[in-house]
A and B are shown apart, each in its own frame.
Chain A
Amino acid sequence: MSIQEQLLNIETEAVTKINAALTQVELNDLRAFYMGKKSPLGEIMKSMATLSIEDKKIIGKLANEVKVKIESAVTQRRAYLEQEEVNNRLKNETIDVTLPGKEFKVGTSHPLSKTIEEVEEIFMGMGYSIAEGPEVEVDLYNFEMLNVPKGHPARDMQDSFYITENLLMRTQTSPVQVRTLLEKKGAPVKILAPGKVYRRDDDDATHSHQFMQFEGLVVDKHITMSDLKGTLQLFVQKMFGDSRKIRFKPSYFPFTEPSVEVDVSCFKCGGKGCSMCKQSGWIEVLGAGMVHPNVLASAGYDPEVYRGFAFGIGIERVTMLRHGIDDIRNFYLNDSRFLEQFKGEN
């Protein structure tokens, strides 16, 4: 067998064994054996002394090539074995990703707060500030300055929780209007006042002795009733959907003149008539009107110079309509099975 043949045999044998190595240790041993000084290759190199210069060149080159190939086989096998190790580890570490994850308590705002927040955001986008006032209110602000003097029939509509003769739980958020006007002293006003109000109603599916309202008030020199309509149209679209329409119907509130009830085209049937809108196509949602001159005057705004509009909504009503809630008491019982239904709404 020629030297060339011996070299090629060594190469074949080494590469075969290297590629069959199953562990890094085995591979290291093989590398040490084939690349070390006492390796078969080394033996052949030693015997090269007897060869001619020409042959030395040829054989030397060949021997080097064999060496490189063996080295490369080792590198490749090493990479392969490392990858195998990783693969094995990953395989062993595989878990059932369908098992339940850690259960956290998920919190949620109260559905009434969600409605308030949404309404606030809509109106803040239109430049309104959020105004607040006390819930224990003086008769003067809750009634008198809102054009509801003692003995006025409108006091019939809202039997109240009195604390003293002149102090009561506010029956509406409207006293915030009075307080804001008094505070602003003639400057333009653009506020939204959400909050709790109280009336002497027996608690049942549609009544609650405590409920929430929000009140909007805009006062400036050039305010018109068309501004009121445009404002509410925009609000209703943002709150109930772009295709919603509104209509005004004559109504009465002591602190506005003219006063209107505001219907919204039914958000369930779109106006065709369904059980939700009692076949009328419309749902009564808001009360509104132009601020009564007596209210402006009593707060120090000259009604010949200033005009304004105001509107109010029952927050429970809106929330019930939107979510299909059929009993107002749900809001105040705070059953966790009720509250947690709203955790997915953001």
Chain B
Amino acid sequence: MIVSYNWLKELINLNVSPEKLAEEMSLYSVEVETFNKMVKATNLVVGHVLECVDHPDSDHLHVCQVNLGERVDQIVCGAPNIAAGQKVIVALPGAVLPGGTIKNSKVRGVESNGMICSLQELGIENKYVPAIYQNGIYVLDNDATPGQDALEYLCFDDYLIELSLTPNRMDLMSMLGVAHDVSAMYNVPMNNLECSFTEVSKLASDEISVKLETEDCYSYYARIVKDVVIKESPKFIKARLIASGVRPINNVVDITNYVLMLFGQPLHSFDQDKLGNTIIVRNALDGEVLETLDDLERKLVSTDIVISDNLENNRAVCVAGVMGGKSTEVTLDTKNIVLESAVFKPLSVRKTSARLGLRSESSVRFERGVDLNRSLAAVDYACYLLEKYADGKVLKGYVHEGIKHLEDKEIHLTEKYVEEYLGINIPTVLIKEILEKLKFTVEVCGDDIKVLVPNRRLDIEIKQDLIEEIARMYGYDKLNETLPSMTVEGELTHAQHIRKVINKTLVGLGLSETVSYSLVSPKLSNMCKVLFSDDFKEIKLLHPMTEEHSILRRSIVPSLIDVIKYNNARKNYNVSIYEIAQQYGLENNEPKESYLLAGALQGVHSSTIWQGKKEVVDFYYVKGMLDVMFDKVGAQVKYAPLSVNCPELHPGRSAEIILNNELIGYLGELHPTLVKAEDIEPTYVFEVKLEPLFNIPSNVVLFKQISKVPSVERDLALVMDQNIAVGEVLNAIYRCDKNMIKKVSVFDIYVGDKIESGKKSVAVRITLESLDTLTDEVINQKMKKILNTLAYMYKIEIRK
């Protein structure tokens, strides 16, 4: 909604500058989106072209002598339609136009002291310029006085306040609605609209009747105006329509639009001579076709409301509230018109306009709700304007069907309730005063404040709505600043805490966090199927905007591969990233989401290049890093070769992560084929379900006695079959005495000609610790047990 400041000033006695009004409307009424002068150009006057001769040195320029009121000056003009005798818009030297500043100059040797302007040169959009003036200067009517301010003459000397209307404030979709709010803001009265016209003796009801055959039309007024003369609208109407963003067409169409902007009541005009004598408002038939004003054939459905007449099997003549039909259109030949002022069901109009892709100033208002108490005043005002500006003769009376008047809504309040709600006291007298400024009826009876809210304010239904009116008009700046007095404590849940620990640990290990899109492509959706099975079905959008974002992801790793690809393509290498996000899927047809942690690492993780040292991410780097993280959250995990088929991973370099016999994650190198296809550097990825980690109870560490004697280390070189998993051997050693064996580490692996082929030698260091001194006897006994166990379980021998 764009508010014309001049128009508003005509409706209320406003004594506030446009700048201040725009600023204060944001604080007290509704947000102001933009505030501008209607025309920013300056120094424009009316000129009278006294003489116009061809430029001696040009085939298209003209040299004009222009009467500027105080003087006659010479101006060179290139417009094809310039002619002597015209009244024109002249930009004087010093004028600032959107295209630049006007100066005294010489045009091909001829002095030119100003510029004769087109409307476009003033900054008026082309669509508002009448067709005949679109390729030349704009010619004013003869009543313009030379030297007069041209913007004032055109009624363009206005300020425009564009409101950012919230869906509840449909009442502000009219100049009268805005006038109501602004008059309350400044406590200034509204002016009476002059609306007097003469009715001829013939009754409208003799020529037309109305039938409502659908409940989706609440009210329908028809009036008839005869003998209209179709012509241009007066300047103020055209200017105000342009200000409101509506293209002037002719007086009849412009007047219906003008009334729409003023009252918020959409009107429709039919050419009476093309219309039958009965108007029937009904639901459309499925498949019914209507040619609308924009020359398109519209196929209708039964939820659409149409206006039809009694001709040609009750043909539809208008899509109610949305767009008129071609068959009854008002044209230059129209003499007699039927004016419709109706109110339709908002949802119905909304569905129809959305389906047809037709959103108009009318449909928008019907969608939000139109005040039917104002329908008659609106159509009467249109009659007044048609008599005045289209020489129309208004038939006596109107035809009406449906609801004529809706009663005010009654809402009760107390001063105490307002105080409890806002936290400040506003005395009853002040509450009454504020609500009365808004033209609500207020009766105070003891503590009770009874408020009658006019239908105009469809948004006000309950006392809280009234509190909003009181608070905004009283001023939100007058609220106190207090804090709620409550006795609740804030704390993180265990899961939130664990997530924080994981975040901190991974960032500390040099990984950067990413946030990627939850919605992915079908291709990504079917990658890395390790932590979910096919029973965990995809969740697909009904109407995705693009296929790229059409399915909710079940794994984060594919998104991270995309991030790696994006970075590597921009020569950002050595990427190491992680993300904690949801996986989504259907489990037994129910949506389920749970947290996953995913990571992707590649390239160098630390280096001192000038010393020739650099450490590159490999499987064991990622595994060690995960171990740190699992340690931090108290998870004792095991690793085993990946048992699930995952084509994205290197089959020999991928592992599953097991917690309490449950597969909770995986890590591995991306398959070389994928790496090549995606054109990325070799990359390691991991993914872990977080719910099992959230389920590990938080533990308080119980202190264990520290041994007073130093620990003892024993090294063993163990020869075993090459296919034996060392991790299992280490576990087997550890299990020989979980109390005494503190640590088992590997410090060398040898495969070669010094041992039997098919075997490997693994050098392990075993650290033993006890509260008492460890005697050689005890140690040897322990080592013997270990060797026996290993020999028994894995046929492992000591290397000779």
Contact = CB atoms under 8 A, between A and B. Distances in A.
Contacts of A209: 517, 519, 545, 549
B776 interface: no
A103 B511 CA distance: 14
Nearest to A259: B468
A272 B476 CA distance: 21
Nearest to A331: B515
B608 A126 contact: no
B753 interface: no
B515 A136 contact: no
B31 A261 contact: yes
B518 A260 contact: no
Contact of B424 (A108, A210, A226, A259): A226
B542 A222 contact: no
A109 B513 contact: yes
Interface in B537-589: 539-545, 549, 552, 563, 566-567, 570, 572, 574-577, 582, 584
A134 B496 contact: no
Contact of B541 (A161, A224, A247): A161
Contact of B462 (A198, A202, A293, A336): A293
B479 A258 contact: no
Interface in B475-498: 476-477, 479-493, 496
A335 B566 contact: yes
B606 A105 contact: yes
B707 interface: no
Interface string A119-136: 000011111111010111
A209 B367 CA distance: 26
B791 to A, nearest CB: 44
Contacts of A248: 476-477, 479
Contacts of A189: 488
B550 to A, nearest CB: 10
B104 interface: no
A230 B479 CA distance: 9
B166 interface: yes
A270 to B, nearest CB: 18
B69 to A, nearest CB: 37
B627 to A, nearest CB: 17
A66 to B, nearest CB: 51
Contacts of A218: 484, 486
Contact of A229 (B347, B481, B508, B511): B481
B167 A105 contact: no
B582 A334 contact: no
Given A101-B608, A104-B510, A110-B515, A163 B541 contact: yes
Contacts of B512: 107-108, 110, 336, 339-340, 343
Given A104-B606, A136-B552, A260 B570 contact: no
A333 interface: yes
Contact of B367 (A134, A153, A339): A153
Nearest to B166: A252
B500 to A, nearest CB: 8
Interface in A180-204: 188-190, 196, 198, 200, 202
Interface string A224-240: 11110111011000000
Interface of A: 99-110, 112-113, 123-130, 132, 134-136, 151-154, 156-157, 161-164, 167, 169, 188-190, 196, 198, 200, 202, 209-210, 218, 220, 222-227, 229-231, 233-234, 247-252, 257-261, 290, 292-293, 307, 331-337, 339-340, 343
Given A109-B513, A334-B515, 17 more contacts: A99-B610, A107-B512, A113-B503, A124-B490, A124-B491, A135-B582, A135-B593, A153-B346, A156-B167, A161-B542, A220-B484, A227-B482, A229-B480, A230-B481, A248-B476, A293-B462, A336-B512
26 contacts: A102-B606, A102-B607, A103-B604, A103-B609, A104-B510, A124-B492, A125-B490, A135-B518, A136-B584, A162-B542, A169-B518, A169-B552, A188-B486, A209-B545, A210-B518, A224-B422, A225-B479, A226-B422, A226-B480, A249-B31, A250-B27, A252-B169, A257-B468, A258-B464, A293-B464, A335-B567
